[in-house]
Chain A
Amino acid sequence: MLYLCEVTDVAEGASKRIDLPERPPLAVFHLPTGIFVTDDTCTHGLASLSEGEIDDGAVECPWHQGAFDIATGKPCGAPCTIPLRTHRVVVSDGKVFLEE
């Protein structure tokens, strides 16, 4: 398992970008339903989704307001068409880990 951040680093309804060496940046989202981790880079342009607005379980890209369902990665707003990669998360003792 790979340590990403503390749960308290990401307020509920917010997100945080995590840069780890030699892998694409990740976005940690804190929703009422739990902690979710996806790739941070939008599959349409190259914008950072952790800078996007979170709205009802979806994240909106800050560039063109395309959207993805955070839990599934499914595109839910044009112009996004390729699913966003989602990652398995383990939360233990207030810490967020990526399950590898």
Chain B
Amino acid sequence: MHTIRLAGGPAFGCADGDTVLRAGLREGLGLSYECNVGSCGVCKFELVEGAVEDLRPDAPGLSERDRRKGRRLACQSRPTADCVVSMRLDDAVRPPVRPQQRTAVLEAVRPLTQDMSEFTVRTDGAADFLPGQYALLHLSGLGAPRAYSMANTANPEGIWQFIVRRVPNGAGTAALFAMTPGAALSLDAPYGQAYLRPSGRDVVCVAGGSGLAPMLSIARAFAEGPADDRRLTLYYGARTARDVCGAAELAALPGFGTRIRYVPAVSDPDDGFAGRRGFIHTVMAEDLGRRFDNCDIYCAGPPPMTLALEDLLIREAGIPADRLRFDRFF
């Protein structure tokens, strides 16, 4: 155990093997972050005193300028001594649920499409998280944890469901797809800022690939909530008809067809899909008549999809930045 002190702020303990970021979040501190895996560049800090091990020296979240100025990523820094760090605290990003490490057992695997499956794991104690958040899964044989979003909603039984796409040459997904029910893993959760916030506006969810998971969690929480006159639409973008996913899960929700809609679209022009064609951000904009003023938009999916949405909604349409929520994993 090492002690980390924020320059001019509180001190907290960091268990052996834990990172500066996660140890601070476990204490309930408002440390900024999004991805937790070294990509987004949000959790930068400067080491004032002490020593840390850099778990990902080539992390894309740091630029040459950041490195020149001695900046580090809190999510990739493991203390090897007591430390003093300079890092900004922000009450707006205080973790609503403090993350915890737990042991888990894989209970079931259910194929959803040609390359995506739903993984159900169980922990002792409740599955406590907000819709749209993610977990870090520590899988045996892999050095770094992998981030996967929950597809279900919080529950006292300790059930956590993930949707994972098998990525060719992806070590994380290869390890997961090789597991059979009964296998043990370690689950560290919950993380993420792109969780469903209370609001009087409609909810728009845009998903691509395994980004379906957090959007499904948000849709499920919306369905479990008060049956007011707000609406939720989930747009799902796939490359071909074989990749379309989520229709059955959405159709099972109370309010489907009235308060809740599902709009899939396929981008491959040569595919025989009978529904809408095109990139999902374009399909969403057309379907909403380019009116984005009365909705909160959540999205999860491949970086080109998220970047296209950010460009369309924030730069072109000028919606306030806090109406579009996602965690950037790039």
Contacts and interface: CB of A to CB of B under 8 A. Distances in A.
B63 A81 contact: no
A46 B41 contact: no
A76 B63 contact: yes
A63 to B, nearest CB: 7
A67 B63 contact: yes
B256 to A, nearest CB: 34
Interface in A34-85: 43-46, 55-56, 58, 60, 63-67, 76-79, 81-83, 85
B65 A58 contact: yes
B41 A79 contact: yes
A79 B63 contact: no
A13 to B, nearest CB: 16
A65 B311 contact: no
Interface in A8-40: none
B315 A82 contact: yes
Interface string B35-74: 0000111101000000000000000111101100001000
A63 B88 CA distance: 7
Interface in B9-42: 32, 34, 39-42
A60 B65 CA distance: 10
Contacts of A85: 315
A51 B66 CA distance: 18
Main secondary structure of the interface of B (DSSP, over half): loop
B41 A78 contact: yes
Contacts of B307: 81
B317 to A, nearest CB: 12
A81 B328 contact: yes
A63 B30 CA distance: 13
Nearest to A43: B314
B310 interface: yes
A77 B63 contact: yes
A82 B314 contact: yes
A79 B42 contact: yes
A81 B330 CA distance: 10
Given A45-B321, A76-B63, 4 more contacts: A64-B32, A77-B66, A82-B315, A85-B315
A67 B65 contact: yes
Given A63-B32, A65-B66, A77 B41 contact: yes
Nearest to A65: B44
Contact of B62 (A43, A58, A78, A81): A78
23 contacts: A46-B321, A46-B322, A55-B65, A60-B65, A64-B32, A65-B41, A65-B44, A66-B41, A77-B41, A77-B65, A77-B66, A78-B40, A78-B60, A78-B61, A78-B62, A79-B40, A79-B42, A79-B328, A81-B310, A82-B310, A82-B311, A82-B314, A85-B315
Contacts of B311: 82
Contacts of B34: 79
**Lowest 8 CB-CB distances: which A-B pairs, in order?**
A78-B41, A77-B63, A79-B41, A79-B40, A78-B61, A64-B42, A79-B42, A65-B44
Contacts of B39: 78
B61 to A, nearest CB: 5
